Amino acid sequence: MTEARHIRVTGLVQGVGFRPFVWRLARELELAGWVRNDAAGVEIAAEGETRQLDILIDRLRREAPPLARVEDVCAVSAPARGHGDFVIAASGGGAVTTAIGQDTGLCGDCLDELFKPADRRWRHPFITCTHCGPRYTLTRRLPYDRANTSLVEFPLCPDCKTEYTDPGNRRFHAETLCCPNCGPQLQLLNPAGGPLPGDAIVATLDLLQRGAIVAIKGLGGFHLVCDARNANVVARLRERKAREEKPFAVMAANAASFLPFANCDAAAQALLQAPARPVVLLPKAGIELAGIAPGIQWLGAMLPATPIQWLLFHEAAGRPAGTDWLRDPQSLLLVMTSANPGGEPLVTGNNEALQRLSGIADAFLLHDRDILLRCDDSVMRVSASGPAFLRRARGYTPCPIKLPLSGPSVLALGAALKNTLCITRGDEAFVSAHIGDLDNAATCTFLEETVEHLSGILDVRPEALACDLHPDFHSTRLAHALAERWNLPLIQVQHHHAHLAALAVEHGVSDTLIGCALDGVGLGSDGTPWGGELLSVDDDGSFARLGHLTCLPLPGGDRAAREPWRMAAAVLHRLGRGDEIALRYAAHPAAAQLNTLLERGINAPLTSSLGRVFDAAAALLGLCDNTSFEGQAAMLLEGCAARHSGALRIWGQSWHIEKNQLSLLPLLARLAEWDGSREEAAARFHLTLAHALVDWISALAPAARTVAFGGGCCLNAILTRHLSVLLEDSGRRGLFARQLPPNDGGISLGQAWVALQRIVQCGKR
Amino acid sequence: MNALDLQHGRVDLSHGSGGRAMAQLIAQLFTREFDNEFLAQGDDGARLPHTEGRLVLTTDSHVVSPLFFPGGDIGCLSVHGCINDIAVMGAQPLYLTAGFILEEGFPLADLGRIVASMAQAAREAGVLVVAGDTKVVEQGKADGVFITTAGLGVLREGVDLSGANARPGDAILVSGMLGDHGMAVLSKRENMDFGTTLLSDTAALHRLIARMLDAVPGIHVLRDPTRGGVATTLNEIATQSGVGMLIEEAKLPLRPQVAAGCELLGLDPLYIANEGKLVAICAAADAQGLLAAMRADPLGANADIIGTVGERDPHCFVQMRTSLGGLRVVDWLAGEQLPRIC
Ligand SMILES: [Fe+3]
Ligand SMILES: [Mg+2]
Ligand SMILES: [Zn+2]
Ligand SMILES: [Zn+2]
């Protein structure tokens, strides 16, 4: 029997080769009609045999192209029009609800062409197709059409036009399609902006191999690049980046090339090769690359994402034909660190690069395809519970996270450090890419631009706002200003409540959740700095504080977070050993009077933070007195623990629970006394801490079958591994962050969810 | 009625009763110290002579703990504070009034020292305290002494000083070492020293300001960065003028003791109170001339140019280039500095 169907497909179905896929499918099934994009997604009119129509609908979902994400296929009967053929029709109008795709690394087909001398795109730095390449970072607005991308500047040549209009071609309607004849041009410039002679790739590689630092334009911003095996240039890069000690990420042609330096199991390899091309933290093993990640147990590794990056490795390998060379380890190893001088947002523009990176880069590899949206590299790790984020950005935004229920659109502005924002639309939450630390004007402005851009491409108007309780976060102030400007309700959410609410969303928990926020400092509901909290998070947007870590003073406020020796001093003071402070930390001028400060309690607020306990532990073991970046002391402690081999025992009787508070003071006393190997002490600290936490949770929430763990301390892989094992041993399950980082990068989702729950709750009453 | 025992006596409730005890306190303590023809009239208000020019009137309440601190006390502080509020308007201060709230039991000897210190500060500054008031509250309802001063001055012709006058490209200057007052008071209160003794900078700025206006009549902004420090003052000006600002950490004049104290306590010197310093903003072309005039005065010897006014900026961000080369926002805090590092 012949009949007709009108089919709507929603989700991420534009710019991913969906229409040619439908076209091929319809032809194969001998159906007539048309397919077109509209603002809601893809619209199909198909007529033919009933059975064939049913197969079409089934296969639409099951065989969708690699980058597509089908949310819904909705088919209704329609009158047959007697179409003779199946065609791809022009786009329709309507409200915008479809999405822009994420940026992805080169696909296998494009890689083959890139290295095939006979191909017209051999060594073409901008090769891409419907299945790969940039999306989010070069799209100005919806709908996703070439005219709305930065490729609008580059009209297609006749050859490209043919590919673009042929539904049988892999580049049919590939909006970022181009070729050497019609595409952007690569250029290597000196710091004065003058062109350097020769083939840009050859010359860049030559500079890198001779120890130069080159700024290279990537997908979402510039990287500073140098030879990772050359300790001198690595040291020079650190010096020019203002003496930072932060670890650098390293890029190699393939996973095998990392093996002399780090372990890379199958799961890590799969993550490295994921289309998103994140930086993957590999456990170091073997040769230490000098200056790359001093003292830290992880090597940040990534594989080439852009053709430009691929071409550098291809050139270093001697410009081989084909891809066989990628089976073997390659010697070229490049530092690829985000070019964001002084902690400001990533550099994206050509002139901006020449200005802001002058004095850092010796040369600039640029092109004239503009980056329209800044997007940092994502950073991930394989954890006990699967791949986990440390930073979620390029390759993953703007993919939505499903909410347990649908509600009005909420805009949540996040915390102050590692800021992200979140906008909800229906039952989807869109978390922005990593925005940065809101301590400089450029990052604060970037947050505001991101509000505009993300609400623009999602075509939503927020109906409520959410933010932290801290009055001095720029995000909080912006939320107040927007609430006033747009006349919207503002819901302020306690920091650790938000950490755990984000986990509730991720794990689809819709009733009460017992969770532990293991964090640095966040402002508590009582105005004091919290950070080691056991909370019961309810589904109505409220929470109860079941218990917290016994407080330690924070001598000098935030200064104690930057100077872990102060936390060690706070512990010694609490242990009645304050007179040791001056001697132990004699290198610090302030040490002589710190005990007096602690005794009088001057600017030494009490905090229940676990992050500061880690700081104290690292400093008591002499691993880290002062930090140059957030979380450094805890990372060094974790790195030290990872180097321990041999038996591992807990320290018995080194914690106690009183009035719902967990005191870790006896554990810290062990460290203060320790004179054995630091590796052993660090390892035992992690294990004992996990035991103490689980003991405490069992005492305070004996009925909880699942326990969520959020907060910055959950970036510590050793701690989270111990926690999940211990919980499993006692027949319970630990919930950890998977879709977002456990640190403040995930706060905005939690804020949005709490706000949404409260709004829904209000509606019920 | 016996004479007041100014050595061992204490304030009691009768000293604020309006009766004879109060009259005696006023006569023996206040009138004697502040001795001048207007106060001597003994009426409910002071009749002041005719004055040419526009008047500037201001008032300022003073609470400080401890009342006596290295380099000063609440008495001279209350005079300097009021004079400086008049002076940064570009006015010559002429007259002050003083209101006292005394706590029952407060030693008369201490009160005597405070009043003497006020009188001396006024004399040195060339202003007259022409009216006053005293109230006494029960023990525990005040902290020793609170003093409210009001001041009257006459505006200099041709000056137009306002926090709203900062223009893109202007230079930002400070008149000297920052944070001395706040740290001196703190070190005394907490009985901690930060190296050598630190004195409060409490001082009357009107003569320095007169020199500055002689050299550069077109100064755009003058303000005294008291409570909340330079950070708060710059934010107020930036907001009033609708501009951004950029200051250089390396250019901030700081005594080593203040730097050490701030380091120990984890405080930011930009937020520490000053009582004898000013922030000036002028056209870039006038900056060197203004700086020279400031340095020629003992109260401006350590003056420096610390930054520039940026473009018009709806955010009115005040930013600082740190000694490591990064930029950070110098925030206008909601209240106390709360820990925020997660
Ligand atoms: Fe946090
Ligand atoms: Mg005042
Ligand atoms: Zn491709
Ligand atoms: Zn072309």
Give A368-403 pLDDT, tens digit per residue. Answer: 999 999 999 999 999 877 899 999 999 999 889 999
For residue B97, the enclosing domain spans 13-155
Helices B256-265, B180-190: inter-axial angle, 10-degree rounding: 60
> Closest ligand to A133 CA?
3
From residue B46, how far is each of A293, B34, B43 by CA, in Å? Answer: 74, 13, 7
Residue B293 has pLDDT above 60, yes or no: yes
Please name the helix (run of DSSP H) or strand (run of DSSP E) that holds residue B235, with its range, or none.
helix B229-241
B339–A243 C-beta distance less than 8 A:
no
Question: Which three-class secondary structure string do you get for B202-217?
Answer: CCCCHHHHHHHHHHCC
SS3 A261: coil
B177 in the same domain as B93:
no
Distance from the Cα of B327 to chain A's closest Cα (Å) equals 6
Rg of the Cα trace of chain A?
27
What integer is the mean pLDDT of A101-112? 94
Q: What is the CATH number of the domain that holds B97?
A: 3.30.1330.10
Residue B2 has pLDDT above 80, yes or no: no
> Is the same domain home to B183 and B319?
yes
Closest ligand to residue A124's CA: 4
Nearest to B340 among A416, A593, A596 (CB): A416
- Answer whether residue B338 is part of any domain: no
The answer on B115 and B223 residing in a single domain is: no
Give me the mean pLDDT over the A310-337 stretch. Answer: 97
In single-letter form, the type of residue at position A149 comes to: T
Who among A341, A472, A521 is closest to B333 (CB)?
A472
Extended strands (E) in B138-187: 145-155, 171-174
> Residues B225, B290: one domain?
yes
Shared domain for B321 and B248, answered yes or no, is yes
Strand-strand pairing, B221-223 and B279-282: antiparallel
Of B265, B325, B340, the CB nearest to A597: B265
With CB atoms and an 8 Å threshold, state whether A520 touches B341.
yes
Residue A686 pLDDT level (bands cut at 50, 70, 90): very high
pLDDT mean over B28-33: 88
pLDDT of residue B325: 83
Residue B336 maps to a domain: no
Mapping DSSP onto H, E and C, the string for A49-115 reads EHHHHHHHHHHHHHCCCCCCEEEEEEEEEECCCCCCCEEECCCCCCCCCCCCCCCECCCHHHHHHHC
Tell the CATH topology of A187-380.
Answer: DHBP synthase (3.90.870)
**Number of structural domains found in chain B:** 2
A667-687 average pLDDT score:
97
Q: Is the dihedral of CA B211, B216, B217, B223 positive or negative?
A: negative
Query: Which residues belong to CATH 3.90.870.40 in chain A?
Result: 187-380
**A743·B342 Cβ contact <8 A:** yes
Residue A98's pLDDT is what?
A: 61
Q: A262: which DSSP letter?
A: B
Q: Which residues of A touch B326 (CB under 8 A)?
A: 242, 341-344, 440
Main-chain dihedrals φ then ψ at residue B172, nearest 5 degrees: -110, 125
| Residue A19 is among the residues annotated as catalytic for this protein | yes
Q: Does A478 reach chain B within 8 Å, measured CB to CB?
A: no
What are A457-477's pLDDT values in tens digits? 888 999 999 999 999 999 999
Note if A37 is an active site residue: yes
> What percent of chain A stands above pLDDT 70?
99
CATH code of B211's domain: 3.90.650.10
Residues B176 and B230 in one domain: yes
Same domain as B274, residue B203: yes
Question: Which tens digits make up the pLDDT trace of B236-273?
Answer: 999 999 999 999 999 999 999 999 999 999 999 999 99
**Chain A CB contacts of B324 below 8 Å:** 242-243, 342
Which ligand has an atom closest to residue A180 CA? 4
Residue bearing the bigger pLDDT, A147 or A534: A534
pLDDT, position A94: 55
ipTM: 0.92
Measure CA A88 to chain center. 37
Same domain, B198 and B293: yes
Cα–Cα nearest to A753, from A584, A508, A574, A567: A508
CB of B102 within 8 A of CB of B16?
yes
Tens digits of residue pLDDT in B142-157? 999 999 999 999 999 9
Name the pLDDT band for B196 (thresholds 50, 70, 90).
confident
**Is B1 inside a domain boundary?**
no
Answer yes or no: is B28 within a domain: yes
Q: Are residues B53 and B144 in the same domain?
A: yes
Q: A472, A499, A632: which to substitute to probe chain B, counting the most B Cβ within 10 Å? A: A472
Residue A1 in this model has a pLDDT that exceeds 90:
no
Residue B161 falls inside a structural domain: no
pTM (2 decimals)?
0.93
Over residues A610-615, the mean pLDDT reads 98
C-alpha A144/C-alpha B330 separation (Å) is 40
Nearest to B339 among A344, A558, A712 (CB): A558
Q: Please compute the mean of the pLDDT values over residues A198-215 and round it to a whole number.
A: 98
If asked whether residues B207 and B64 sit together in one domain, one would say no
- B243 lies in some domain: yes
pLDDT at A420 over 60: yes
pLDDT of residue A39: 75
**Residue range(s) in chain A whose domain bears CATH number 3.90.870.50:** 1-99+122-171
Which residue's entry shows tokens 């880290």? A624
Q: Give the mean pLDDT of chain B.
A: 94
- Interface test with chain B among A446, A603, A609, A744, by most B beta carbons within 10 Å: A603
B222 and B79 within one domain: no
> Which CATH number does A1-99+122-171 carry?
3.90.870.50
Say what the pLDDT of residue A26 is: 93
List A5, A8, A19, A732, catalytic entry = A19
For A:574-613, CB contacts with B below 8 A are: 589-590, 593-594, 596-597, 600, 602-603, 605, 607, 611
Handedness of CA B326, B331, B337, B338 (dihedral sign): negative
Residue A210's nearest CA partner among A194, A191, A232 is A232
Q: CB contact, 8 Å: A414 with chain B?
A: no
Nearest-CA distance from B318 to chain A in Å? Answer: 8
pLDDT exceeds cutoff 60 at A283: yes
Report angle CA A532, A535, A537 to the nearest 5 degrees.
Answer: 145
The pLDDT value given to residue A243: 61
- A408-550+685-765 folds as Nucleotidyltransferase; domain 5 (3.30.420)
Contact B239, B308 (CB under 8 A): no
More confident residue, B89 or A92: B89
Are residues B113 and B243 part of one domain? no
Separation of CA A175 and ligand 4 centre (Å): 12
In a domain, B102, yes or no: yes
Identify the pLDDT of residue A145.
81
Contact B192 A594 (CB under 8 A): no
